[in-house]
Amino acid sequence: MNLPNKLTLSRILATPVFLFFLVPGWFGQFLGIDQWGRYAAAAIFVLASITDLLDGMIARKRNIVSEMGKFLDPIADKLLVTAALVALVKTDNLSVWAVVIIIAREFIVTGLRIVAAGQGVVIAAGKLGKIKTTFQIIAIVAILIRDFPVSLILPWLPVGHICMGIAVVLTVVSGVDYVARNAYIIKRGQ
């Protein structure tokens, strides 16, 4: 197994560890330090997100793109983000609608990629999708750390939830753009 695939696998394995520290009743309640569990979860989420950047960069730089990597990478990405979003619905009253919209877009994009792959077409991630992912990551981390350090100065400003709102808008816009740019694949497959 090459280094990019090991990084991808580490992201998959980090997901239950992330949840262990975040979900109430596990880490925080046992030790009485709920906020430290959230900080640990945020650190794990950030490190796992960094592996997402690194595995692709290393694979392209060393020209070691593999079928296993192509298979595992999108699963790892969606598993980590979906786990975080679902947990934040429980722990931070994150809007269920926001989570459903984000997950629905991922299903649509994944489905389109599967159809394209069946036709021998590889669809690369678009810039809007990458910006959307960046806002999702920022939003998740900000919510996890309860908007610290901004919350010290502006305790009324919900930075994480604002970023999540932007991420949801970008989710819709990038999803529509993605489908519009690749509609020919669906038409060709009829």
Q: How confident is the model at residue 36 (pLDDT cuts 50, 70, 90)?
A: confident
Q: How confident is the model at residue 122 (pLDDT cuts 50, 70, 90)?
A: confident
Whether residue 164 contacts residue 99, with contact meaning beta carbons closer than 8 Å, is answered with no
> Is residue 106 over pLDDT 60?
yes
> Is residue 137 over pLDDT 90?
yes
SS3 sequence of 157-170? CCHHHHHHHHHHHH
Whether residue 2 contacts residue 73, with contact meaning beta carbons closer than 8 Å, is answered with no
pLDDT, tens only, 17-32: 999 888 866 555 555 5
Whether residue 7 contacts residue 70, with contact meaning beta carbons closer than 8 Å, is answered with no
Q: What mean pLDDT comes out for the span 57-75? A: 83
Give the model's pLDDT for residue 25.
64
Q: State how far the alpha carbon of 150 is from the alpha carbons of 35, 40, 141, 147, in Å.
A: 16, 19, 13, 6
Side chain identity at 23, as an amino acid letter? V
Query: Is the Cα torsion angle 168, 45, 3, 73 positive or negative in sign?
Result: negative
Q: What mean pLDDT comes out for the span 139-149? A: 93
Give the model's pLDDT for residue 29.
52
Give the model's pLDDT for residue 177.
92
pTM of the model: 0.89
Q: Return all residues near 156 (Cβ < 8 A) that are at least 6 apart.
A: none
Q: Which residue has the tokens 């990084």?
A: 7
Give the model's pLDDT for residue 35.
77
Give the model's pLDDT for residue 26.
57
Burial tier of 12 (Cβ tally within 10 Å: 0-12, 13-18, 19+): middle
Give the model's pLDDT for residue 96.
96
List the domain boundaries for the chain: 1-80, 94-190
Share of the chain above pLDDT 90, in %: 49
